[in-house]
Amino acid sequence: MGRPRLAVFALEALPNARTLRRFVAEHAAEIAFVGLSNAERPSTGGFTGQIRRHLARSGPGFLPYLGVNFGLPDLMRPLAPVTRRFSGSGDAPEATPLEPLCRRLGLPTLKVDDVNGPAVAEALRGHRADLILTFHFDQILSGATLATVPLGGLNVHPGLLPRHRGPVPTVHALSEGPDAFGITVQHLAVAIDTGAILAQEAVRLPPDITATRASVLLHERGRVLVDGILEQVAAEGRLPSGRTFPRLPYCGFPDRAMLKDLRRRGLKLTDARDLREAASLNA
């Protein structure tokens, strides 16, 4: 069948931004459209509703992580033309926010409030997507949405599934120890992070790693694994069946006790180095 046409879904943030921008630039000829998740969509309670929930569960100690990973990159994104000019990065894909990068490449984009809504279904059919790729995406696809494309979907997860299924696997890996980090590419499934594993790799990270920096590095490694799987799909005309596994407990956002334990052990979710990277993400 040749190279599949990809519908790429993502929430652009520090963990995936540079890697995803490079992927989109390199695979532009194969991408049907890019779906950009609206992090402040009404179904999540908007910005204030999400902050209230995080404060209730994790406490204020989790806010710097959210700010560095999501808040600051979002605030700085409109300034990208100015920061690129001053930094000399020009039109480098990794320094260009995803929406303007897609415009430059001639790729359609879609703001996604509901990945299972009619607008997404129409885009998948209208742009003749063969395969869905979720790359740090914060919405769960239904069986009906996955069935809209002939080849199903791939998910990049910065953790060693079946462990640490959930939204912040590097936080849980940081808590468990240096041998707990890794990257998985799997089939998309209706239940969160339960699809068959297509590629997986344990990754040894530096001792001073933060949960934020780990996610950045692991997403970059995931891009390499995805490239290999796409080559296989092009050759065989289908996704490999993958390896199934018993479902382990869901690992959600950290609670106050986990954050307190991480602080006691001198382990950090984020640090000044991550803050500088977030501030310079679009430069």
Tens-digit pLDDT profile for residues 234-256: 999 999 999 999 999 999 999 99
User: Phi and psi of 269, rounded to 5°?
Assistant: -70, -35
Return d(Cα 65, Cα 268) in angstroms, integer: 9
Write down the pLDDT at residue 1. 63
Q: Which pLDDT value is given to residue 247?
A: 94
Spatial separation of the C-alpha atoms in residues 56 and 48, rounded to whole Å: 12
Q: Could you say which residues of the chain have pLDDT below 50?
A: none
DSSP summary character for residue 7 = E
Query: Which pLDDT belongs to residue 259?
Result: 97
State which amino acid sits at residue 64: P
The hierarchical CATH code for the domain 6-279 is: 3.40.50.12230
The number of angstroms, rounded, from the C-alpha of 32 to the middle of its chain's C-alpha atoms is 18
Q: Where are the domains of the chain?
A: 6-279
- List the Cα angle 103/108/109 in 5-degree steps: 90
pLDDT at 91: 83
Q: Give the CA distances from residue 121 to residues 8, 9, 49, 193, 235, in Å, rounded to whole numbers and listed in that order.
A: 13, 13, 27, 22, 27
pLDDT number for residue 44? 83
Catalogue the E-assigned strands of 75-158: 109-112, 131-135, 153-157
How far apart are alpha carbons 180 and 182 in whole angstroms?
7
Is 126 in a helix, a strand, or coil? helix
Max alpha carbon distance in the chain (Å)?
54
Helix, strand or coil for residue 197? strand
For the chain, how many residues are written?
Answer: 283
